[in-house]
Copies of this chain bind each other. A is one copy, B any other.
Amino acid sequence: MERIIAIFGPGLLGGSLALAVQQRIPGAKLRLWARRENAEAGIRSRGIQADFFTDAAAAAEGASLIILCTPVETMATLAEQITQGQLADDCLITDVGSVKGSVVRALHPILGSRFIGSHPMAGSEKTGIEVARADLFQNATCLLTPIGAENAELPRLKNFWQALGCRVLQMSPEEHDEKVARISHLPHMMAAVTTLAALRTDLSAVACVANGFRDTTRVAGGDPGLWTGIALENRPALTAQLRAAADTLTELLEILDKPDEEELRRFLAEAQSLRRTVPAAVS
């Protein structure tokens, strides 16, 4: 059971974490850190009862669990600031970043084994504390990426995410980045590519849009700054996936050029059968 939980970065994820902790771990004292003073109003307006900080070292001091919810490229600087204060002996630090290799490589030298990466696979194309919700993590998969020897604090981190309703999986940072490139970063970029190809040269086509287009391109509405950071941090794995997609698109164009009806049916049937392995969302 955590004594003091300090959340850094009150956006969609940090705000949802605060709401979820308040609802499901009522014994824990809650702290929220933001870069700017004026973030406090948004936090209060969502009914979050937390001590508010803009001083990172003060927010971290004595906390039993610290969760970094800022963009991945800002985390190393924040970690340096946190270590300026007096960290509790049992202080466990994690993050919610969508990339783990570069984050772990950057934070481990600063924070040591008290840091274990987390990636709760929850979010939205919308951003900001206005859209935060207490049930964001309910039934989400949370990927934990400990490194090196058995980490004694891993069960504590698992318990925390499970208390918020997550299903927890464990893998190496490298395996995480490869798998997440496949099933999160690739689809995000493909949604952007599809949106651009469809609408760039004829915006009037939007009048005919139905749910197929809405769903296929939904995540292209996500924050460009956030996704630029993610794409650059996970560039090698993402690029490999995008090249695989480009090859698959070429394969489809060659089938259509012939055209080969049987091959096209096989191509679409293979996609359908792979898509059928995806478990339905639990709500």
Contact surface of A with B, Cβ cutoff 8 Å: 121-123, 140-141, 143, 169, 178-180, 182-184, 186-225, 227-228, 231-232, 235, 238-239, 241-250, 252-253, 256-257, 259, 261, 264-272, 274-279, 281
Q: Is the CB of A246 within 8 A of B244?
A: no
> For A190, what are the chain B residues with a Cβ–Cβ distance below 8 Å?
190, 193-194, 216
Which residue of B213, B220, B266, B271 is within 8 Å of A195 (Cβ)? B271
Q: Is the CB of A238 within 8 A of B265?
A: no
> For A222, what are the chain B residues with a Cβ–Cβ distance below 8 Å?
268, 272
A186 to B213 CA separation, bound complex (whole angstroms): 9
- Nearest Cβ in chain B — how far from A261, in angstroms? 6
Contact status of A208 and B180, CB under 8 A, knowing A228-B264, A231-B264: yes
Which residue of B183, B207, B235, B241 is within 8 Å of A209 (Cβ)? B183
Which residue of chain B is the closest to A188 with respect to CB atoms? B212
Q: Is the CB of B210 within 8 A of A182?
A: no
> Mind listing 26 A-B residue pairs with CB under 8 Å?
A121-B209, A140-B210, A169-B208, A179-B208, A180-B208, A182-B199, A187-B213, A187-B217, A188-B212, A190-B194, A191-B216, A192-B252, A193-B248, A193-B271, A197-B248, A199-B274, A200-B244, A200-B248, A200-B270, A215-B219, A221-B276, A227-B268, A232-B259, A239-B257, A242-B256, A246-B246
Given A184-B210, A220-B271, 15 other A-B residues pairs in contact with their CB atoms under 8 A = A121-B209, A141-B209, A143-B208, A183-B199, A190-B194, A192-B252, A197-B247, A197-B248, A211-B281, A212-B219, A214-B278, A216-B219, A223-B272, A235-B256, A239-B257
Which residue of B228, B244, B275 is within 8 Å of A268 (Cβ)? B228
A211 to B203 CA separation, bound complex (whole angstroms): 27
A215 to B215 CA separation, bound complex (whole angstroms): 5
Q: Is the CB of B228 within 8 A of A261?
A: yes
> For A225, what are the chain B residues with a Cβ–Cβ distance below 8 Å?
265
> For A228, what are the chain B residues with a Cβ–Cβ distance below 8 Å?
261, 264-265, 268
Which residue of B121, B193, B210, B272 is within 8 Å of A245 (Cβ)? B193
A244 to B194 CA separation, bound complex (whole angstroms): 9
> For A241, what are the chain B residues with a Cβ–Cβ distance below 8 Å?
197-198
Which residue of B200, B210, B215 is within 8 Å of A218 (Cβ)? B215
Contact status of A198 and B217, CB under 8 A, knowing A210-B140, A239-B257, A268-B228: no
A249 to B253 CA separation, bound complex (whole angstroms): 14
- Nearest Cβ in chain B — how far from A273, in angstroms? 9
- Nearest Cβ in chain B — how far from A118, in angstroms? 13
Which residue of chain B is the closest to A186 with respect to CB atoms? B198
